[in-house]
Amino acid sequence: MYFDGVANLSGYGMGVLLISPHGDHIPKYVRLAFSNRHPTTNNIVEYEACILGLEMTLELRIRQMEVFGDSNLVLRQIQGEWKTRYVKHRPYHAYLELLVGRFDDLRYTHLPKA
């Protein structure tokens, strides 16, 4: 599973790409709408993207996979290597932990943006 999220002046969006062991591709792109009264960060959108991807795989009854993402923060926090200090990230992290607990085996790979 590959995931990515973006927050910029044009808006918020996220993408997920599932690739089966046989090479089948299942892409999903979502444009998000956040209130101007409650602006969000790129990291929150990255969390949303990872959550979407895990939810998609659980619906497909996939319980083992490798997760690729360019968000070092999300990947480190999901593995418990970094604490979730920013209060706005905590609900996302808590939900992500619930999803992760439903898998038999997850491996994580950080893909630098470059």
Domain map of the chain by residue range? 2-110
Considering the entire predicted model, what is its pTM?
A: 0.91
Tell me, which fold does domain 2-110 have in CATH? Nucleotidyltransferase; domain 5 (3.30.420)
Please write down the HEC assignment for all residues of 17-60: EEECCCCCEEEEEEEECCCCCCCCCHHHHHHHHHHHHHHHHHHC
Give pLDDT tens digits along the chain (114 positions).
999 998 887 788 999 999 999 999 999 999 988 766 666 888 999 999 999 999 999 999 999 999 999 999 999 999 999 999 999 999 999 999 999 999 999 999 999 887
